[in-house]
């Protein structure tokens, strides 16, 4: 994949936007962008995942702090990034199975990722 890679569910892979609070789709794009940047798309080990998720969490926290909004602890944000990635991978698998088997029926839409990636301290 090249630097302008994309996927049918989330669009173009990119770094997080710096001028607005990120949506879930922005976080997913950032994860994929870092995977490509680190050349680990084919070698997605638990160690590499934790490094990528930690970098994404740092970037998200930095954006929220620049907006002067208190955030959850980093370990909680990393867990949220991991959970979001798992949800995305599950949706991607379901979409692939549906296309392969040509089954009619609703598949959860990628529009579910258009929500704010909320790390506000609770």
Please tell me the distance from the alpha carbon of residue 61 to that of residue 76, in angstroms, as a whole number: 11
Tell me: pLDDT of 16 over 80. Answer: yes
Dihedral over Cα of 78, 80, 84, 86: its sign: positive
Under a CB-based contact definition with an 8 Å cutoff, are residues 85 and 34 in contact?
no
Give backbone dihedrals phi and psi of 116, rounded to 5 degrees, phi first.
-60, 135
Q: What is the pLDDT of residues 17-48, one digit of tens each?
A: 989 999 999 999 999 999 888 766 677 788 88
Q: What is residue 1's predicted lDDT score, i.e. its pLDDT?
A: 43
State which H helix or E strand residue 11 sits in. strand 11-12
Tell me: pLDDT of 68 over 60. Answer: yes
Q: Where are the alpha helices (DSSP H) in the chain?
A: 24-37, 46-66, 74-101
């Amino acid at each position: 994949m090249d630097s302008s890679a994309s996927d049918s569910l989330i669009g173009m892979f990119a770094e997080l936007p710096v001028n607005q609070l990120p949506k879930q789709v922005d976080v997913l794009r950032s994860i994929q962008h870092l995977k490509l940047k680190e050349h680990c798309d084919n070698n997605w080990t638990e160690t590499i995942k934790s490094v990528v998720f930690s970098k994404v969490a740092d970037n998200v926290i930095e954006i929220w702090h620049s907006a002067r909004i208190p955030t959850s602890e980093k370990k909680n944000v990393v867990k949220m990034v991991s959970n979001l990635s798992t949800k995305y991978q599950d949706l991607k698998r379901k979409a692939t199975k549906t296309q392969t088997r040509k089954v009619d029926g609703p598949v959860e839409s990628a529009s579910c990722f258009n929500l704010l990636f909320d790390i506000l301290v609770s």
